[in-house]
Structure 1
Amino acid sequence: MTAVSADASPTIDLSGTEQVPFGRLVSVELRKMRDTRAGFWLLAVTGGLLVLALGITLLVVALDDEVTVSANAFSQIMTIPVSLLVPVLAITSITSEWSQRTGLVSFTLEPHRMRVVWAKFVTVLVLAVATIALAIVLGAIGTLLASAITGNDPVWNLEADVFAWTLFQQMAYFTMAFAFGLVFLSSPASIAIYYVVSLLLPFMVYGTLYAFFDWAQDLIPWIDFGFAVGPYVGQGPDPSVEPSTTTLMQVIVTFVIWIVLPFAVGLRRVARAELK
């Protein structure tokens, strides 16, 4: 009898196997954002807040003939609800792979982790652009309705540079949320830190200091992204501050602090994190 020796270390040649198309990864991530119960209800609540914000604004216009809301103002109002809640989807798009332990499936179907991460990031940017487009459309509808209520001509004053900066700001905050998700890989921690940095500190701490201290007016725009980008989107605490080389440098510095650095640290952590 002839003994057959078994190969002690069999290998599988995958060199000819095609990768999952990147477009398919993006479409899967987009579907995962809205197919979960959390994603569905978050988008539903945001839609309800948009309708409520539009209704309240039109009610104010109807009750006070002296109030005039332009297209730019309507768009800014409509941006607020989506800026408050929808960034949570950017966080959970990455943290759910660890908190819900779906990473074993995702990173098995696509072993190259960074391709999955970049697909998620593209969906976040798509979501940011979609929210701004929705705010602009609702702002235009609100402008027409307000004009019909008051009998005045609609004011179409949405300037191209303000729109571009508003889009940049929205994409930056969504990227910040995504970056915090990469760093902490935990939904509660990422959401808490994001809202502290983007909402609580600017309104409760920085705003108070900015209003009472001269040194804060010089320092805060260098450490808070919202204050830095304010002069470009018409939402700065001091209307007298005009865009300049200094304000542009403040935008760049705060963008690096709160977005670029957390994103880089987060990518490194995801690449090295152990899946269980």
Structure 2
Amino acid sequence: MTETGISAGKSDLNSTMTHDAGTGDPKNTDQQRTAIPFHRLLSVEARKLFDTRSGKIMTVILLVLTLASVVARGVVSGPQLHTLVETAGIGFGTLLPVIGILTVTGEWSHRTALTTFALEPRRRRVLAAKCLPPLITATAASLFAMLVAVPVTAAVASAQDVPAEWEIVPLALLGWTAANVLVVAMGLSVGMLLLNAPAAIVICLATPMLWSVVARLGATGEVLTEWLDLGTTAAPLMSGDMTGGDTARLAVSVIFWIVIPMTLGVVRVTRKEVN
């Protein structure tokens, strides 16, 4: 990430603080200086996400990769709406976690955390504002994939002169979107815990390969994969046929990969010395 968007965000917060500090009782200036509305924090963090060089590059790659993968799959597999929508998940599984990681580690890699937490000392509010834009982005990316898949399905059906398959399970569609959000949440959690972008990216991208190896290590490896691999436990969610056992396994993997790292990461950030 570059500091252009981050600096612009700091300007927004500075203007808010100046306005707040200039009104009311001068004795309450210190309290007013920290009374930054959450929507302003959210706006600033969203701007940091997209108004930086890395953010713009990631966004363009995500859009282009989604469009290219859907079109290519349509040409190869035929006009099947459900298949084309899920094809976009190939790129999402790689890029969306990276967006989450860069969001929570950018302040530390560019040494701007001191400024951010000086403007808003309540660090949990800042972290909450940082986490929401990537999660919303995952939902928006899923919607974009659906919007792309519909005309591509129609175009492929027309070009190949075959009937299009429009059948799609709404629960599977919602589950697929939820799985994309979980992937981003995992990136946010690991990034917040480590506060090191390269290490967090390696862990998130290497985890699926490592679990595929663990699954081959006998019965114990299979059980561990069934309960702790987020990709495996989210598969029934994406297919829209979750059972009670599937829900329990998904909950365990979410706790292992998202809840615990996120909790530890929040504790680390709130207590970390900033210099």
Q: Same fold (TM over 0.5)?
A: yes
- In the other structure, the counterpart of 1:48 is 64
Give distance in 1, aligned partners of 2:194 and 2:64: 30
Q: TM-score, normalised by structure 2?
A: 0.83
Task: Give yes or no for contact 2:70–2:85 (8 Å, CA) kept in 1.
Answer: no
Aligned equivalents of 1:99, 1:18: Cα separation in 2: 24
Aligned to 2:266: 267
Q: Distance in 2 between matches of 1:272 and 1:191?
A: 24
Max Rg structure? 1
Answer yes or no: is 1:68 the counterpart of 2:78: yes
Question: In the alignment, does 2:87 pair up with 1:77?
Answer: yes
Distance 1:231 1:15 in 2: 49
Q: Would the alpha carbon gap of residues 139 and 268 (structure 1) be closer, same or farther in structure 2, given more than 3 Å must change?
A: same
Q: Give the AA of the match of 1:154.
A: A
The two structures have a TM-score, normalised by structure 1, of 0.83
2:172 partner amino acid: V
Q: Residues of 1 paired with 2:60 and 2:143: CA distance?
A: 17
Contact 1:71 1:139 in 2 (8 A): yes
SS at match of 2:234: helix
1:150-169 alignment, distance < 5 Å: 150-169=160-179
Whether 2:26 is the aligned partner of 1:30: answer no
Question: CA-atom RMSD, angstroms?
Answer: 2.2
The 2-side partners of 1:190 and 1:73 are apart by 30
C-alpha deviation, 1:271, in angstroms: 0.4
Structure with greater helix percent: 2
1:184 to 2:200 alignment: no
Q: Residue 230 of structure 1: which of 229, 235, 252 is its match?
A: 235
Alignment check: 8 A CA contact 1:143 1:154 kept: yes
Which amino acid in the other structure matches residue 204 of structure 2?
Y
> Which residue number corresponds to residue 152 of structure 2?
142
Question: SS state of the match for residue 88, structure 2?
Answer: helix
Contact 2:96–2:183 (Cα < 8 Å) also in 1: no
CA distance in 2, matches of 1:76, 1:105: 41
Structure 1: runs of 5+ lacking an equivalent? 1-10, 61-66, 236-241
Counterparts in 2 of 1:59-138, with a 5 A limit? 59-60=75-76, 67-138=77-148
| Separation of aligned partners in 1, 2:50 and 2:120 | 21
Write the distance in 2 (CA, Å) between the matches of 1:104 and 1:45.
Answer: 31
Alignment of 1:202 onto 2:211: yes
Equivalent position SS for 1:52: helix
Q: CA deviation at 1:13?
A: 4.8
Gaps of 5+ in 2: 1-26
Q: Determine if contact 2:74/2:153 at 8 Å carries over to the other structure.
A: no
Cα distance between partner residues in 1 of 2:29 and 2:72: 63
Contact 2:193 2:261 in 1 (8 A): yes
Cα distance in 2, alignment partners of residues 130 and 12 from structure 1: 41
Between stretches 90-99 and 214-223, larger displacement belongs to: 214-223
Distance (Å, rounded) in 2 between the aligned partners of 1:173 and 1:180: 11
SS state at 2:44 partner: helix
- Shift, 1:181, TM fit: 1.1
Q: Secondary structure at the match of 2:63?
A: helix
Within 2, Cα distance between the matches of 1:184 and 1:79? 26
> How far 1:57 sits from its partner (Å)?
1.9
Three-state SS of the structure 2 residue aligned to 1:154 is: coil
Amino acid paired to 1:246:
G
